[in-house]
A and B are shown apart, each in its own frame.
Chain A
Amino acid sequence: MRPILTTALAAALLGTTVARADDTAPVTHEPTRKECGECHMAFQPAFLPARSWTAMMAGLADHFGEDASLPEDTARSIRDYLTANAGDRVSGKLARKYMRWVAPDGAPQRITENPAFVKEHRFRDEVWKLPQVGAKSNCPACHKQAELGLYDDD
């Protein structure tokens, strides 16, 4: 009886979390939360393929024009987490939706250039320049639960 109940409960919970197209697993790796999250929201790894994360973690000395270097062991640990949970390594609707647009050998760096992102973020320039927004990378400005991987609130 108990295993059946547990399974039913798990299915119900799972159903609520994966049914929505724009939800993804939150970042659970503490060094990733801390180091990436220091300067911007720690984006969920499902938005980019593993190749992208590998390239990004190898190029931190010039991270979008800024030095974001990390000690080697920290960088390796974060890279391992990001690649293991990348959009081309996990299942889920959001990962599929974003990976659709990535070339088989492509390693895009900006999540905001993915057509899946662009299609849903067609705003006037003034909107992006609002002081509470400031940058396209500032997901939580509008998606209040973005840090939890929940983007279906639009």
Chain B
Amino acid sequence: MLLRGIVVFTVGVCLFGGIAAAEPARDAILADYLNQARQADPGFTAFSAERGEALFKARHAHNPDVPSCTTCHTEDPTRQGRHYKTGRAIEPVAVSRNPERFTDATEVEKRFSRDCKNVLGRLCTAVEKGDYVTFMMSR
């Protein structure tokens, strides 16, 4: 019984610790994008979930097979997506449904650089990346 209590307590602390630690990591990623955005434009003030949503839903002419983020992620980022070509399941992008999203800077940069090139045909700007993350944090 005592052992069980200790296990439950430990698991609880680990879970709580994991979630609590995940947010500073995301904040740091956003802060980094904000710095970059201000370097490009000293007058830049803040990221916008609305602009992020518009970017997420916009359709682009670069690759007719993947005209939009929504091609794989669906119109609703809280839902599971599907790779447009392979059919592989893609976990939700919305932070509420997938708290691990945007907590690993290397992973985030890897995805942005690939997916922006694949969908938009170019790299995304710091403002676009910050807007996108902000939108996903609001969902």
Contact = CB atoms under 8 A, between A and B. Distances in A.
Q: A and B bound?
A: yes
Nearest to B106: A71
Nearest to B109: A71
A136 B10 CA distance: 45
A40 interface: yes
Residues of A contacting B: mostly? loop
Given A66-B118, A71-B106, A39 B86 contact: yes
Nearest to A66: B118
A71 B110 contact: yes
A67 B113 contact: yes
Contact of A39 (B83, B106, B113): B83
Contacts, number: 36
B117 interface: yes
Given A67-B113, A69-B113, A71-B106, A41 B88 contact: yes
- Secondary structure at the B interface, as helix, strand, loop or mixed, is helix
B60 to A, nearest CB: 15
Interface residues of A, number: 19
A68 interface: yes
B114 to A, nearest CB: 5
A70 B114 CA distance: 9
Given A70-B110, A71-B106, A133 B87 contact: yes
Interface in A1-40: 37-40
A67 B88 CA distance: 16
B86 A67 contact: no
Contact of B86 (A69, A71, A132, A137): A137
A138 B110 contact: no
B117 A67 contact: yes
Contacts of B110: 69-71
Contact of A40 (B86, B114, B118): B86
Interface of B: 83, 85-88, 106, 110, 113-114, 117-118
Interface of A: 37-41, 64, 66-71, 132-135, 137-138, 141
Given A40-B83, A69-B110, 8 more contacts: A64-B85, A66-B85, A66-B114, A66-B118, A69-B114, A132-B87, A134-B86, A134-B87
12 contacts: A39-B88, A40-B83, A40-B86, A66-B85, A66-B114, A66-B118, A67-B117, A68-B114, A69-B110, A138-B86, A138-B88, A141-B87
